[in-house]
Amino acid sequence: MSGAIGLWMLASAALLMVTTGLPAWNLLIGVASFFAVVGVGFDVISPTLFTALPSRLLGLLESDLLQALPLYVLMGVLLNRLPLAQALFASGSRLFSPVGAPRPLAGLGLGVLLSPMNGSVGASVAMLSRTVLPRLDAAGVAPPRAAALVCVASTLGVVIPPSLVLILLGDAMLRAHTEAVNATHVAVRIINTQDIFRGALVPAAILVALCLIAAWLTNRRADHASPERPSAGQWLTALVAVTVILGLLGSVTLGYLYAVEAAAAGGVALFVFGLATRSLSRSVLAEVLRETMAISGALFALLVAANVFTLVLRAFETDRWIAVWLAGLGGGPYTTLAVVVALLFVCAFVLDAFEMIFVVIPILLPPLLMRIPDATWVAVITLLILQTSFILPPFGYAVLMIGNRLARPVGTRAMAAALAPFVAIQFAVLALVVAVPSLLWRVPDPPASAGASAGLLSDDEIREQFDKLMRDEDSNSTSGHPQGQRQ
């Protein structure tokens, strides 16, 4: 029954995050430390397990993908400080003027272009609030609809490669899939970040198209005034920016560039743009670097705290307990998928995407992948759930962020009504991906090797293999060997 203690850990951490407002990494380490002391005191867990923590963290931070994290944050901060967004919005509004609702459509287009490079939804909300909200207000768009539009635009980058959420989700899925394959010995290729980039492309395109249609339908009667005419410099800036951004996004998605290389190239391009336009002064650069260090430090602190938290969960055998419980549900793999999706949605109401990726996915996804070997499909479903969580009122992260930036507060009911069409689109795309797995663009798995089992295991075999894997992991952790380190 010690596995149930981990559920109390998760519930305690979620409750404290909602009620205290303290940094998530502080709460995760505090809750994990408290339960660890209690577990050791009652002889439920062995203190020798925690000798593996230093090498576990070192192995984690050696991941190549994490090098992209501060670069993405740097791009997001630069986009908030430079006049690039204003030039893109002015040009987009002029282009969309013949079809109606030019400013709402331009705002969504701005989110599509810049949010994947912005590092976080918070940075996208800050940029779009400053650039789009005043112009939507001037065009006569109702405040709830304007706020909803900014919320949606700021989250579209989550599902468009190569966003930071996609990169971190890819690393988490690699570890979860590796654990599942080691337990079941199914002969499949381990998922990588490129698989998720490609798998997310078609659902992202459908989602963006439907959101553009919804924005046009709901705002075409409000936005009648002719947009301002961009200057020649703004047209040139917009043309060059769109070309460079689409080139970088396409190169990463198609595998010509690594995410780290694209992030570095984007950072250099923005730096050169700032120097060329004289908008990146010495004082602005100092502020950019300070903000980048602060945000990057917070994300790395959250990553470290989440690993401490999950180590204590594993010490209580919560992951094993959840795996056995899921295997005992019956009804086949799709019943397990439905239960895991429901649990992810429940967690998404109180946890943001990074907390979900670092804490929840390492616990819930491995047992699911033992029953459903299509890891790309599972990853895209998870990604859409994470993206939806940002705009679900009243606790969606984008909803909370935009509430702090509105000149006049918008009621929860009005905000929910304005977001309703976009939330409905989210659920429709999610249902489409669940119903039609062949919709995803993926690389075919190589043929199964001779003598390897390519079939799914029974529930009893899954429980037996998972118990063996956990015993081996506990033995290695006690010996001080890092777990989950990429070879």
Q: What is the arithmetic mean of pLDDT over 45-68? A: 76
* Nearest one of 62, 73, 154, 70 to 115, comparing CA atoms: 154
Lowest mean pLDDT among 250-254, 354-358, 418-422, 446-450: 446-450
Q: Tokens 């459509």, residue?
A: 105
Q: Is the residue at 223 inside a domain? A: yes
Please indicate whether residue 328 or residue 93 has the higher confidence score (pLDDT): 93
Q: Is the residue at 30 inside a domain? A: no
* Nearest one of 122, 125, 86, 77 to 106, comparing CA atoms: 86
Paired tokens of 266: 């984007």
The predicted structure's pLDDT at residue 48: 79
Q: Is the residue at 2 inside a domain? A: no
Q: What is the arithmetic mean of pLDDT over 10-31? A: 85
The predicted structure's pLDDT at residue 486: 35
The predicted structure's pLDDT at residue 487: 31
Phi, psi of 186 (to 5 degrees): -75, 135
Q: Model confidence over 112-157: pLDDT tens digits?
A: 888 887 767 777 888 888 888 888 888 888 889 989 999 999 888 8
Q: What is the arithmetic mean of pLDDT over 27-47? A: 87
Q: Range of 210's domain? A: 62-311+375-440+452-478
The predicted structure's pLDDT at residue 81: 83
The predicted structure's pLDDT at residue 53: 78
Q: Model confidence over 357-400: pLDDT tens digits?
A: 888 888 889 888 888 888 899 999 999 988 888 888 877 878 88
Q: Is the residue at 170 inside a domain? A: yes
Q: Is the residue at 19 inside a domain? A: no
- 481 pLDDT more than 50: no
The predicted structure's pLDDT at residue 421: 94
- 454 pLDDT more than 50: no
Q: How far apart are CA 390 and CA 399, in angstroms?
A: 7
Q: How far apart are CA 185 and CA 183, in angstroms?
A: 6
Reported as a pLDDT band with limits 50, 70 and 90, residue 453 is very low
Residue 411's Cβ-count burial label (10 Å; 0-12, 13-18, 19+) is exposed
Counting the structural domains of the chain, the total is 1
The predicted structure's pLDDT at residue 2: 65
The predicted structure's pLDDT at residue 84: 87
Q: Is the residue at 43 inside a domain? A: no
Please indicate whether residue 416 or residue 49 has the higher confidence score (pLDDT): 416
Q: Is the residue at 46 inside a domain? A: no
What rounded mean pLDDT belongs to the chain? Answer: 82
Q: Is the residue at 364 inside a domain? A: no
The predicted structure's pLDDT at residue 469: 54
Reported as a pLDDT band with limits 50, 70 and 90, residue 422 is very high
- 173 pLDDT more than 70: yes
- 475 pLDDT more than 60: no
Q: What is the arithmetic mean of pLDDT over 248-270? A: 84
Q: What is the arithmetic mean of pLDDT over 187-202? A: 86
Q: Model confidence over 456-467: pLDDT tens digits?
A: 555 555 555 555
- Torsion angle of the four alpha carbons 382, 385, 387, 388, in this order, in degrees rounded to the nearest 10: 170
